[in-house]
Amino acid sequence: MATVARVTTITSRSNTSFEDAVSGGIARASTTLRNVTGAWVKEQKVDVTNGKVSSWQVTLEITFVLDD
């Protein structure tokens, strides 16, 4: 039997770092989606306030395997 996966797009934001945004996004997706197997960082963005980075944002493509 073949394994079938699906990909969904999410956006996650952090006030700390890109790594924190990625980790937080995957953690949150895993509470709703079963069988998360990977993620692709599709896009990165920062917000700037008074000349300094104030938040980090990532758009993730989350891959999860569908149940049989």
How many C-beta atoms surround the C-beta of residue 25 within 10 A?
Answer: 22
pLDDT at position 2, please?
A: 86
What is the pTM (predicted TM-score) of this model? Answer: 0.89
- CA separation (Å) from 12 to 9, 24, 43, 51, 61? 10, 7, 11, 22, 11
| Mean pLDDT of the chain, nearest integer | 96
What pLDDT is attached to residue 12? 98
Q: d(Cα 68, Cα 50) in Å, to the nearest integer? A: 51
To which residue do tokens 């917000």 refer? 47
Q: Which domains does the chain have, with CATH numbers?
A: 5-65 (3.30.1660.10)
Structural element, H or E, at residue 36: strand 36-49
